Every structure is written in C-alpha cells, then in structure tokens.
Structure 1
C-alpha cells in the first residue's frame, strides 16, 4: 500500500484555542508538513484547490512548484483540481509547467469542486457544473496527449488545431478522479480507465463503498482490465499513540471543536460523540494495532491500495501531530506495505526527453532540492 498526506490548506482559527496564525505562517506549516512527510517515508503529498473561505489553496500549482523544490522523492498530488471552474487550456499550461519543474512527479486528482461561493466567483451554476467538469477534462486530456487539438466546446471558445506549450514531461500524466457523493465522477473515472479517489471523510463507510462498487461495475462495463483498477481512500483524522486512551484523549479537544463548528453552522453532526466517531468514521484514532486493524477492515470493503492521511494538525499542536504521524510511519506503515498490495501503477509515467517535447538533458536537473 502507498500512503499520501494531504492538506486542503484551511486557514481558520484553531478549533480549540481560537488562535489563528498569519497567512505566511500557514503556508510555512504546509511546507514543513511536506518535508516531514518525505522524511518519515510517506509516498506522496497533496494540496487542495478551493476558492472560498476558510481555504487559501487557490493556487495549487504555485504551492506544489515550491514543494517540488523542497522535496526529492514525494509524488505531488492535487486534491482536487477543480476543472469545472477552470479554463482547461490555462490549467494545462500550468500543470505541464509544474510537471517539468517537479521532474515528472505530478499526479492530478480532478473534481468538480465544492461550495456555492466559488461557483459564484467563476459564474458556474449547480446545473452546469458536471457538464463543465466533463468537457474541461476531455479538452485537458486531449491537450496532454496531442500536439494539436480541435474541439467544439460549450463553455470556452472552440479549438482549431490548437498548439499549447510547453509539452509535458510525463506523457501522459496520470489522472485520478475525486469522488465524494456523485456517480458522475465515478462514471467519468471508469470510462477513461483511470483511478478513483474516494473522499471517505464525512460519513460512515457505506455511502463511499456503494460508489466504489459502482466504479467497479462501470469499469467492467467499459471493458477495462480488472487488474488495472486502482482506488484511493481518505481518512477523517489521525491520532496514533502507544495506547488507545492516550490517542483518544489527544484527539478529544479537536473533536469538541468539530462539534462546536457544526453547532455554529446549524448542522446536525453525523457523529454525535467521540466514541461514535472513532468507531464509525474513517478516522485513525488508537494504538498502532487498532489503526492497522481499521485500515485493513476498510480495505476488505473498498479494495483500496492507496491511503490518504491528513497532513495538518486538527485542534492539536503541530508537534503532537508530527509525533502521531511518526508513530504511524514506524509502527503501522511497514505492515501496510506487507499486507496490502501496491497500486498497479505508481511513479512517473513515460518521460519524454527529445529536446522538444520535454525533459532535462542527461545529468541535469531544474531545481535545487537541498
């Protein structure tokens, strides 16, 4: 199994203390989290893309380009690229450039995005967001694979033998499809024979399991090789300690902050108590043995071979979260590597290096990684 850490770059008051760091400090926390993820042996790091409060992840290509310079090995994920809001040509240019600067470490997770405020910002409606997402992806996918693209489009000017530069470093980049609630995203992933990224955060297991089951059905419908199917599953929180009691007590203030936030929004919480949260959510809270057992139980239902854990502290100190991640890497990750297979495909796609389409000359790198 591969494990990646993800930050949506939430910039909000601490749910326990009420304190809020500056924007500059928040970005610095994300950089430290990526460097630490590489240090403890995780396989990838992702940042979100949101265009509304309380997030400051509106420019993921900029953040990931910086992380490319500060790391050497991590696969760099978007979580997610909101193609329903973006011009696919402009998005392609940004991500093809990032693919070069990271020397082929880019991994794209696409999705329609969430939130009415960002839809309003980009004049996208609830009715047309799915069509926009599908159209943008088809154009984006063609641009990544073809030197010239012709496309009759509804939501941007049509393309006629369009050439877009730079050509990518990977040919092609691998695309993962984010899925939280809709079968539309699942079907798009299955149609193209590409991996599914299940959010698996807000609710108990079954709604996500049903979408993954549908993905497998559509994968077979489109005639793809079952052995090539790949599922990623998220987790709703992380607190790993030597005993379940210590892990629970460390996470308790964060959970209390979550309940308070739900009350302020007038939302009925899905999990009313911390014990219910530990039992029925995907949160990884407990001793290493308990955390490993929960991941294996989810794997039995999902069949996933990539796991996402939170990169950020949630209502606990940054040092405490690092301690939890480090114990996870030392006491849980080795068993995951042994017991659960890796995804069928991992690492860079085919790297093009002909002096025109992409690639650095032999022995040359673009970025200092020290």
Structure 2
C-alpha cells in the first residue's frame, strides 16, 4: 500500500436537493457543484467524487456528465463516481463515459463501482432485484474486460454478447482506475482483494476500527490471489463538517445530520437518530468527522492508522446545510486539515 504520508484527501457528494425540506432546484445544485469542484481543486484536495442516484432528492443521476462539466476549469483534482451503480448500468457505456472524461481531464477520471445501497435504478432500467448479486458480478467482469482490451469477446446472462467488438474511446490512463465500493460486507472485500482492485469502505456509523478485520480479509484475499498487498489502495467515505470551532460545528450539524438520517431511516427501518447517537459518532472513536480543523485532522489520522488508508473521502453534502458552510468546509479541509494530517502521518 502507499505510504500514509501520501494519503489522498477528497470530497464525496450525492448532490442533495431535498425539495421537501426547502432545498434547492437541480439547476442551482449543479451550479453549486461546479463551485465546489473548482474550490476543492484550488485548495489542493486530491479527489471530488459524485455518487449516482435516481431519487427526487438528489441530482446526481449522471456523474460523468457533471464531472466533465468541471474538466475545463480544474487542473489537478481527480474526478470520480461514488458510486456508479454498475448492477443497473451497461458496463460498456460506463467505460465509454469515463474514458471520455479521462481524455477530457488528461487522465484524472476514476470509477467507483458498487451494487447500490438505494435500489431505484433497478426498476427504472428494467432489472430484477432478485438478480442483485448476479448482476454486479457479471457486469463487473465485463467492465474489467472492456478496460483491459480494446476488442472484447464476452458472453453473459443479462446482456447481449460481444464478439471481437471494439470499444472506444480508450481511456488515457491504462488501466482506467476502477475501485470497488462496499458498505462493509466480507464478500465485497474478498472480491476486491481477489481482483487486486482498490476498495472503498462506506463508514457512516459505529466505530471505524470495526472495519479493521475487513481490511485484513481484503489484504489476505489479495495476497492469496497473487497480488502485492503493498500496491493496493484502501479508502473510506464518512460524513463530516468543519467549522472554525468545535462547538459551532457540533451544534450546527446535529439537526442537519439527524434530519437526513431519520428521513432515510424511515425507508429502511432504522432506529431514530438521537442526540446520544450523534454524540457517540462525534467522539474520538466515532465515524463522524465534525469539528474544528485540528479535531477532524486527529480523527482522520486515527482512522488512517487503524485501517491502513491511502485515501479519505469526506462526505459534506446535505441540502439543508447552507452552501457557504459547505464551501467553508471544503476550504478548511484543504487549507487546514490536509496539512495537519500529512504532517502527522509523515512523522511515522
């Protein structure tokens, strides 16, 4: 794995609009996204990643198009999906879209492939949820085949076969980076390890240290498959908010976090998100990166050491959060948190 001192830091988002809670129109949220990506690039962050969703409260159904819109106004930042719901997508088209983005950005595109924690895309595009696992396995196989070979011969169950078919354009990067995104299932960790692919763990509750056994499962599977564990990349994606003081961040973020988690929780049968749950997540061991730059930096360093991270993505986007506060979080993340994190990791 990469040395911790080279830890990549970035932003992840689903581009919330949340119209039922007084949010913003999709056109305005997309304009805001351009501001965020440009600012993240200017303050030296490494990644900006957009998750694909097909709900009325997000405006991120086409991450590649949104990211491409920022291609001409950014210079260094890597642009990624977070995630691409591969199970309900055509892998050939996914490759073409991100290969196009890769050429537009001089080699800065990435794909995070996942099965999707929200399932709206399956009926939308005519897929049966009973094939949830099988669809992802088959489509990941095809995506990896397309990225490794200009001409593809392939046969599967859920898509028409390809017979020595050319797929264009080819990405500038060879191979185009493909990460496996997971909420924490051992099967996903093993799959990523066996394929020698980088992995992203979504850690939005509990304690990040609980994911350490999954990291070991991932590394062991990679080694057994003949991959070099020291060459692998491990990332996590977690919620956060940064302000000038811990007290301000703590109080401002609680109602926003509680509202969003309870809104999703009603759909999924989760327990009510309470102040005590929030306080636990806010603690040094918790998975919520909220506070002043020094506190957030300390928590990122802790998670990096616990999980052997090479990348950390801060999820900052709820529509009821004033956009100026979101931009301030990005600014502080790049100008204050990142230097503190890298200085501390370089000492070890």
Q: Scaled by the length of structure 1, what TM-score is found?
A: 0.84
Match of 2:251 in 1: 249
- 1:148 matched to 2:115? The reply is no
How many angstroms apart in 1 are the aligned matches of 2:131 and 2:211? 24
Matches for 1:37-52 after TM superposition, within 5 Å: 37-52=40-55
Is the alpha carbon distance of 1:314 and 1:296 closer, same or farther for their aligned partners in structure 2, counting shifts above 3 Å?
farther
Shift of 1:132: 1.5
Q: Could you say what secondary structure the match of 1:309 adopts?
A: strand
Question: What are the ranges of 5 or more consecutive residues in structure 2 without an aligned counterpart?
Answer: 1-6
Is the alpha carbon distance of 1:123 and 1:106 closer, same or farther for their aligned partners in structure 2, counting shifts above 3 Å?
same
Match of 1:368 in 2: none
Contact 1:49 1:58 in 2 (8 A): yes
Is the alpha carbon distance of 1:147 and 1:260 closer, same or farther for their aligned partners in structure 2, counting shifts above 3 Å?
closer
Q: For 2:311, which of 290, 306, 315 is the aligned residue?
A: 306
Contact 1:33 1:312 in 2 (8 A): no
Match of 1:82 in 2: 85
Match of 1:349 in 2: none
Matches for 1:198-213 after TM superposition, within 5 Å: 198-213=201-216
Matches for 1:179-218 after TM superposition, within 5 Å: 179-218=182-221
Q: Scaled by the length of structure 2, what TM-score is found?
A: 0.89
Is the alpha carbon distance of 1:247 and 1:311 closer, same or farther for their aligned partners in structure 2, counting shifts above 3 Å?
closer
Structure with max Cα Rg: 1
Q: For 2:280, which of 276, 298, 304 is the aligned residue?
A: 276
1:6-65 C-alpha deviation (Å, 9 max, x unpaired): 111222048xxx312111101111111111111211111111111233222111121111
Match of 1:356 in 2: none
More divergent stretch after superposition (133-142 vs 71-80): 133-142
Shift of 1:313: 5.0
How many angstroms apart in 2 are the aligned matches of 1:54 and 1:314? 9
How many angstroms apart in 2 are the aligned matches of 1:313 and 1:117? 20
How many angstroms apart in 1 are the aligned matches of 2:170 and 2:239? 37
Point out the structure with the larger helix share. Answer: 2
Is the alpha carbon distance of 1:10 and 1:275 closer, same or farther for their aligned partners in structure 2, counting shifts above 3 Å?
same
- 1:340 matched to 2:345? The reply is yes
Shift of 1:81: 1.3
Shift of 1:269: 3.5
Shift of 1:286: 2.1
Between the two proteins, the alignment pairs up a number of residues equal to 337
Is the alpha carbon distance of 1:268 and 1:112 closer, same or farther for their aligned partners in structure 2, counting shifts above 3 Å?
same
Shift of 1:190: 0.8
How many angstroms apart in 2 are the aligned matches of 1:104 and 1:263? 38
- 1:222 matched to 2:217? The reply is no
Match of 2:130 in 1: 127
Contact 2:241 2:316 in 1 (8 A): no
- 1:6 matched to 2:6? The reply is no
Is the alpha carbon distance of 1:338 and 1:69 closer, same or farther for their aligned partners in structure 2, counting shifts above 3 Å?
same
1:287-339 C-alpha deviation (Å, 9 max, x unpaired): 32222221122122211021101243564321123223323323221122233
Question: What are the ranges of 5 or more consecutive residues in structure 1 without an aligned counterpart?
Answer: 342-370
More divergent stretch after superposition (105-114 vs 271-280): 271-280
Q: For 2:71, which of 68, 90, 99 is the aligned residue?
A: 68
Q: Could you say what secondary structure the match of 2:235 adopts?
A: strand
Contact 1:239 1:248 in 2 (8 A): no
Q: For 1:267, which of 265, 270, 273 is the aligned residue?
A: 270
Is the alpha carbon distance of 1:119 and 1:206 closer, same or farther for their aligned partners in structure 2, counting shifts above 3 Å?
farther
Q: How large is the Cα RMSD of the aligned pairs?
A: 2.2
Q: Could you say what secondary structure the match of 2:200 adopts?
A: strand
How many angstroms apart in 2 are the aligned matches of 1:327 and 1:93? 35
Match of 1:136 in 2: 139
Contact 1:144 1:173 in 2 (8 A): yes
Contact 1:134 1:188 in 2 (8 A): no
Contact 1:235 1:283 in 2 (8 A): yes
Contact 1:201 1:281 in 2 (8 A): no
Q: Could you say what secondary structure the match of 2:287 adopts?
A: coil
Contact 2:11 2:49 in 1 (8 A): yes
Q: Could you say what secondary structure the match of 2:179 adopts?
A: strand
Shift of 1:164: 1.7
